[in-house]
Amino acid sequence: MNTKGDDLFSSKKLKIFTIPSLFHPSSELVLLFSLLKEIPKEGIHCYNFKGESRYSGVIEWCNKNTEITTNISECSCIVLPYKFKNTDDPIFLKLDTLSKRFAKPLLCFYNDDNDSIFEISSNVHLFRTSFYNHTKLDTEISLPAFSPDYFNGVFLDSPGCSIGYCGHCLHGRFEYLNELQHSMDISYDFILRDGFWAKGIDKITARREYFTNMENNLFTFCYRGAGNFSYRFYETLMMGRIPVLVDTDCVFLHRELLTEDVGLILNENEISSDKVGKKIREYYELNLHRLGEIQRKNRILWEKYYSIIGFLNFIQETYI
């Protein structure tokens, strides 16, 4: 599936009211990229090995599918033009007032590890990465974590029951990784780092090792970081592999799609770390005849729902 192709573009534009002079480009604010002439420059982790940005195709999508309007009465939604700060932010308060007066939803975006509970009214739709199901408000919506597309077009044929992981052991991961390394049920391929972002290692080398590890193994272990969400979960889908996610009460967009057809999603409150290896083996044997199909469907799932273009399509369909 080509998520950058014209076949995904709707002819009807999403009309947006915002404050262009305050626009600050970031992964949260891709909906406003029609205000840009070129993709913003970022760190090396935001480009794949071909030099393609995680924002590839976004400006084109926005130019074709969105329109910035100064007429608030005709807009589909109001958008805070920078990363959400808090409910006492003066610009947020100004747009919140307009949102209520004109009965238009105010869309705010928050890619952050902070999982604080914000007091927002029903007109405010807060898209955020880190929060919990048990405290989630009705108008809080999961914001996927966006990475550049590293997929090389290769799926694993007749794969063994191996699980990969490349990263640090912080934030509660150590216990699970330690148990998986001693499990008799599976083989493991772990590259353990001393800290976040592969401290002391060339960053390009570290990224290659990270995605090569994912490519070489059918399963990838996924667990939350400092925030209650996992980049690695979305990247595993992107790479056409199968995630093993220990769910720490995470919130996902399109949660209804994340069934056993996608991977192994284990509720942390219902699974002990010493049982994860056994669960992976059971999943592997149960799905042995369709492991290739699961890989291919996961890649399509990412393209359609969790890539930047997939997310923008969701916004357009929801608010137009």
The pLDDT of residue 194 is 86
Fold of the domain built from segment(s) 162-302: Rossmann fold (3.40.50)
Q: In the structure encoding, which two tokens stand for residue 295, read together?
A: 């890989």
Q: List the chain domain ranges.
A: 6-147+304-319, 162-302
> In angstroms, what CA-CA distances link 95 with 123, 127, 234?
11, 16, 32
Q: Give, for all 320 residues of the chain, the pLDDT tens digit.
A: 444 444 444 458 999 999 999 999 999 999 999 999 999 999 988 999 999 999 999 999 999 999 999 999 999 999 999 999 999 999 999 999 999 999 999 999 999 999 999 999 999 999 999 999 999 999 999 999 999 999 999 999 999 999 999 999 999 999 999 999 999 999 999 999 987 777 788 889 999 999 999 999 999 999 999 999 999 999 999 999 999 999 999 999 999 999 999 999 999 999 999 999 999 999 999 999 999 999 999 999 999 999 999 999 999 999 99
Q: How many CB atoms lie within 10 A of CB 86?
A: 11
Q: Which 3 state secondary structure label does DSSP give 205?
A: helix
Length of the chain in terms of residues written: 320
- Which pLDDT belongs to residue 7? 44
Burial letters 99-110, b for 16+ CB under 10 A, else e: beeeebbbbbbb
Q: Is 216 helix (H, G, I), strand (E, B) or coil?
A: helix
Beta bridge partners of 107: 79, 125
Strand order in the sheet with 242-247: 187-192, 162-167, 219-222, 242-247, 264-267
Dihedral sign from CA coordinates of 151, 152, 155, 157? negative
